[in-house]
Chain A
């Protein structure tokens, strides 16, 4: 009997140890700070010959003055203009000529500009980035051209775009995210150029800036490169100290209808408030999103298209904000009749979270968990995504050990958590539903 208990104990302890071992993710990180206050995160990776050089700025549209809210978004394009030693768009073209590519995003809470390059070009990428935040040539001509470009782009009559924006606005009313990221379209062209130029100071501010490099690198050489290109930068102001907090979903229960002339196919958008990135429910809600919408395992695809043979196209949009988020589910149907049936089945799907019984079958539960962990590990392998994970987690939580905590949370997720989170977020009283029909 004692021997039997010992054997059980040994097996159990081995299982426990593998549990912890399975949650340990092997990410090498080195951090340091330059004398001018610029923080650096390096994450070397072996077995590849590429690197991502990212400058992450802890500033975004929410930091814009109210009268020019959205002006930061113009810098997604403005940052490609010339600098002291480079002509306009050299940043993009020169990187491309080396087989690499560039990327940029200006969001509400943060902005990043990244260059993915062969590992031998890290120094060159750093020189481009240091000039971008030090000597960008901003003049009235290029600012006006950029405003016109974005005005033309966002004033497109694309009904799907307009509908999605309307739902988002209604859901995020009263929050810092309520205006579109590019601001109010009617006032964009009138943003004073001198005020837009002042926003550049947010990007020059070294207190707001992180350099993150992931990929193949020689740490000592990379450090020396960073010192060479960035240590002489001196622009430093107070950092944007924002205390992020969780914004809870509000009661909405809005059901709108639009009738549009010459609409080829009717569609419906379900707008759902989703948890903040700070919330422990963020991972649980993401599970629900995977389960319902990820094309590889989507329950909605199975139910609507395969089981009930409805001619529909399902797509979704999920925001990437810190304090609260929005999930938009758009279903385009071949006819109004089919859309009616879609609504019936969707009501049943929402109802599952408010009834007794399982919300997810055991096999689906395992599949989704497996897929979330797989995707997370695949993303960590991607140099650009790794940079963004590191920077965002440092910004939001001051934590570079995010991988283990994410996997641990995922591992501990249970069906009860899903039910609780589903009940909280997937109720029609909190939704904005927009039906768009042909006139």
Chain B
């Protein structure tokens, strides 16, 4: 018979104890001995089991995470108020009583932004790496928002009360739509885009009309539900995370949160061909305000994957770019006060829209419109010099580099790839190297006739202060509701 002897086990136990201490020291000490070095951004594309596409851009030097959840619209929307109301019901803290999605965002620091685009909605959120589990819960809540889901999502005992709550919340969102709308910092921009798109693309969802009280009153909760169920789906969404993120951990958390979802079939997006109406219109959106009016000048240009795209951007820069732009050196500039132009570009599938924005005194608005039209006519009659093209191209080349300092500078590329069905190398080839290769023939060939009679000009300001200064222009005046 063998008996256990302490003397026999002692060396093994002693050895194990030492190993334990060593392991302990390694666990604690590794953070200091082996700090994680910053390195180049590592990109990884993954599709999780429910069909949600994820892109990780791991950048350890960025000690936080910037995330974007992009939800692409798959079908035309009849009532332009519907997507906005869905957004309100999902994200507004007051409507949700601080719980649900707003509650999760708050736990993450509440540093988020919503962007409503004609082709997609994007939720942009910044958070610390230790809040990644909240991000996974956010995604679950976004795609399983019960008040907008099927009645069968509730248990029998809950159905009546939950339906009543959902109806009340929906009614509050409609009743308070304008209050919440005007609380947005960018509400002037939103209104201007709605008005411009109404004229430019009458058959496209944001072009169905300026969201008016009439549209709001026609909306029912069922419309919101139908839109939500059709749109907020994994196959037509894309989640992008950049920063100090651990992809394997994020994927595991997401798989865990999305486990209860059924598999969703992708919906093939229905793209209506855009019919463009860009004949000149001047619209004043009248508001009772004392600050200077803001002028938005919209023009349609070829889409990003068209050879005509860059020449139009270059021409826009030659005209408006400060300080060498033509409008700043034109004789017509005399007598017009301080003007600085900010340029925005919206890229859609079959078209892009360029918008030049400036705050301007009421007495200078008509003079400014005449100045721009005059310079455009001159540009049509003469040829653009090589020097001007090089200045503009050099500006774009440099701007792309300077903009790389923004932590979200690569996100637009990901989104545009999805909209235009392009690969990364196709996008990066469009700009910036190509800008330096543009020939004079291409630039001058791209100038079409009668550019000076195109474009939708939207002025958000006090019509009573503006109209007295108009001698020749007959603007359309739209009213303001609070």
Binding site for B on A (CB under 8 A): 6, 9-10, 13-14, 16-18, 20-22, 24-26, 45-50, 89, 92-93, 96-101, 116-121, 215, 264, 296-297, 306, 363, 366-367, 370-371, 373-375, 377-378, 380-383
Contacts and interface: CB of A to CB of B under 8 A. Distances in A.
Nearest to A94: B323
Contact of B323 (A93, A99, A296, A381): A93
A367 B404 contact: no
Contacts of A297: 106, 110
Interface stretch (B55-63, B144-152, B361-369): B55-63
A50 B110 contact: no
Contacts of B62: 47, 381
B28 A13 contact: yes
Contacts of B38: 26, 46
Given A6-B20, A46-B40, A378-B407, A118 B398 contact: yes
Nearest to A6: B20
A99 B401 contact: yes
B402 interface: yes
B329 interface: no
B327 to A, nearest CB: 15
B109 A367 contact: yes
B396 interface: yes
30 contacts: A10-B24, A13-B27, A13-B28, A14-B27, A17-B31, A21-B31, A46-B39, A49-B401, A50-B403, A93-B323, A97-B391, A97-B395, A98-B394, A98-B395, A98-B398, A98-B402, A99-B395, A99-B396, A99-B401, A100-B402, A116-B402, A117-B398, A367-B107, A370-B128, A370-B131, A371-B110, A374-B128, A375-B111, A378-B64, A378-B407
Nearest to B397: A99
A306 B110 contact: no
A381 B107 CA distance: 23
A75 B388 CA distance: 32
A89 B324 CA distance: 13
A296 B112 CA distance: 8
A374 B107 CA distance: 13
Nearest to A48: B404
Nearest to B93: A306
Interface string B121-140: 00000111011000000000
Nearest to B407: A381
Interface in B389-414: 391, 394-405, 407, 409
Contacts of A264: 290
B128 A373 contact: yes
Contacts of B109: 296, 367, 370-371, 374
B108 interface: yes
A23 to B, nearest CB: 11
B76 to A, nearest CB: 34
Given A50-B404, A374-B109, A383-B405, 17 more contacts: A10-B24, A92-B323, A96-B395, A99-B395, A99-B398, A99-B400, A99-B403, A100-B398, A101-B402, A117-B398, A118-B398, A121-B398, A296-B111, A367-B107, A370-B127, A374-B64, A380-B63
Given A13-B24, A370-B108, A371-B109, A378 B401 contact: no
Interface string B21-65: 000100111011001001111000000000000000001111110
A366 B107 CA distance: 8
Top 5 A-B pairs ranked by shortest CB distance?
Answer: A99-B398, A99-B399, A118-B401, A98-B398, A49-B401
A101 B403 CA distance: 11
Contacts of A373: 128
A294 to B, nearest CB: 9
A101 B394 CA distance: 14
Contacts of A99: 394-403
